[in-house]
Amino acid sequence: MFTGIIKNVIKIERLKKGTEDISIHIRLPFPVNIGDSLSINGACLTVSQILGNTSIFNASSETVERSSLSQLRIGDHLNIEQSLNVNDLLHGHLVYGHIDGVGKVLNIKEKPDSSEFSIEHPSELSMFIAEKGSITLDGVSLTVTEVNKKSFKVVLIRHTLLNTNFKYKKRGDVLNIEVDPMARYLQRLAEFK
C-alpha cells in the first residue's frame, strides 16, 4: 500500500519486453530486497532480482494489459514510491497500486504557481471519478477539480510538478489511473442491493 506522495523520479536503464510481460531495470537511491513492493508509475511491482546496483521488476501480462507500462522506453522517467509502513504519516490517500486503466493528457494549462492537466479517461471509469475526490495518476495522489463523461481535470502545484515525472508530460502522453479504492467498493456494494 502507498500514499501517492512521490519522493523519487528515476530513469529507466533497461527494458526487456516479452510477448506479454515486461522487465524494468532501474537504479534506486535506497536499498531494497528481493520481494519488496514498490509503486512504479502507480503500479505495485515486486523486486524480482538485484544485479549490482540495478533492481529488476517484472510486470505480468495482466498488469501490462491494464497499464501504460507497455509503452515505456529506455530513458523514460518513472515515479517511484516505497510501500507505506504502519507508523508512517498518510500525506496523500490510500493507494493500492492496482491500475484501473490508462488516461491520456488532452491539455496542459500553465498557471503562475500550478499546472492544470486535462485527462481523457476510459468510459468505464466515469462512475468512479468525482469532483473533489481523490485519484492517482502515474502513482501521484491528486484531487479531481472538474469531471465530465470523457475527461477530468487535476491541478498540480509547482512542488508536485517539479518533483514527479509530470514535469516531462506533454499533450498526448499516457498515464496510469487508479481510482479511489472507496469508490470501487461502494460500487460493488451497490450491485448487491
DSSP string, 3-46: -S---EEEE--EEEE-SS-EEEEEE-SS---TT-EEEETTEEEE
As a whole number of angstroms, the distance between CA 153 and CA 108 comes to: 10
pLDDT category of residue 87 using cuts at 50, 70 and 90: confident
Which tens digit of pLDDT belongs to each residue from 17-29?
887 889 999 999 9
Supply the CATH classification number for the domain 101-190: 2.40.30.20
Identify whether the C-beta of residue 14 lies closer than 8 Å to the C-beta of residue 21.
no
pLDDT at 193 over 70: no
**What pTM value is reported for the model?**
0.93
Supply the CATH classification number for the domain 8-82: 2.40.30.20
The closest alpha carbon to 151, from 132, 129, 173, 136, belongs to 129
Please name every residue paired with 54 in a beta bridge, in sequence order, or none if there are none.
27, 51
The residue ranges of every structural domain in the chain are 8-82, 101-190
- 97 dihedral zone (left: phi>0; alpha: psi -120 to 50; beta): left
In this prediction, residues 26-42 reach a mean pLDDT of 96
As a whole number of angstroms, the distance between CA 178 and CA 65 comes to: 14
pLDDT category of residue 103 using cuts at 50, 70 and 90: very high
Which tens digit of pLDDT belongs to each residue from 121-175?
999 999 999 999 999 999 999 999 999 989 999 999 999 999 999 999 999 999 9
Same fold: 8-82 with 101-190? yes
As a whole number of angstroms, the distance between CA 3 and CA 36 comes to: 16
Task: Show the beta-strand stretches assigned E in 35-184.
Answer: 37-40, 43-51, 54-59, 77-82, 101-110, 114-120, 134-137, 140-147, 151-157, 174-179
Identify whether the C-beta of residue 63 lies closer than 8 Å to the C-beta of residue 24.
no
Please name every residue paired with 96 in a beta bridge, in sequence order, or none if there are none.
none
